[in-house]
Structure 1
Amino acid sequence: MQTKIIVQNLKCGGCANTISKNLISLNGISDINVDAEESSEEFTYAEESSLFTVEEKLKQLGYPVLGNANTYLNKAKSFISCATGKMNQ
């Protein structure tokens, strides 16, 4: 199954790089396409439980799904994730 979700704090290619690298490591997730301009990502998943796993991973990185709380801690995490993504491009 394929889905598209909107995430918060996704601003640039560094953010997109971090998200892509972290999601590809999850079991059952493939065909990841992160679009920084739309703050969105599309991916294919094998099981319904994979959606929850993706949302949790995004929250850990500082990119909560639109509609979820976007705390100062999430924003701080996203800055670190962004910088890491820029260094690893």
Structure 2
Amino acid sequence: MKTKIIVQNLKCGGCANTITTKLSQLDNVTNVLVNIESSTVSFVALNAEYALSVKEKLKAIGYPSVGESNRVLSKAKSFVSCATGKMK
């Protein structure tokens, strides 16, 4: 099931690198593509349950989907994720 999620806090290649790395580690999730300009994350998940796990993983690393709460903690997590992505 091909899915696209619009996320918050996505700013640069470091963010994209972290998102791609973290989501590629999830079981039954493939073809992860991040578009910085449109703030979208596209992927193929085995089913809706795995697609939901991607959404939760994105939120956990600081990139909540549009419509979800984007508090200071999420922004701080995305900053750390971004910095980590730049170092790799």
Q: TM tier, shorter chain?
A: over 0.9
The TM-score, its normalising length taken from structure 2, stands at: 0.97
The TM-score, its normalising length taken from structure 1, stands at: 0.96
Contact 2:7 2:65 in 1 (8 A): yes
The runs of at least 4 consecutive aligned structure 1 residues that moved more than 6 Å come to none
* SS, match of residue 37 in structure 1: coil
- Give structure 2 stretches of 5+ with no counterpart: none
* SS, match of residue 63 in structure 1: coil
Post-superposition CA distance 1:22-59 (Å, at most 9, x none):
00000110011101111101100101101211111111
Question: When the two structures are aligned, how many residues end up with a matched partner?
Answer: 88
- Give structure 1 stretches of 5+ with no counterpart: none
Q: Does 1:85 align with 2:85?
A: yes
RMSD: 0.6
Which residue of 2 is the match for residue 39 of structure 1? 39
Looking at structure 1, the residues matched to 52 and 2 of structure 2 have their Cα atoms a distance apart, in angstroms, of: 14
Looking at structure 2, the residues matched to 51 and 68 of structure 1 have their Cα atoms a distance apart, in angstroms, of: 16
| Pairing 1:1-89 to 2, within 5 Å after superposition | 1-88=1-88
Report % sequence identity.
53
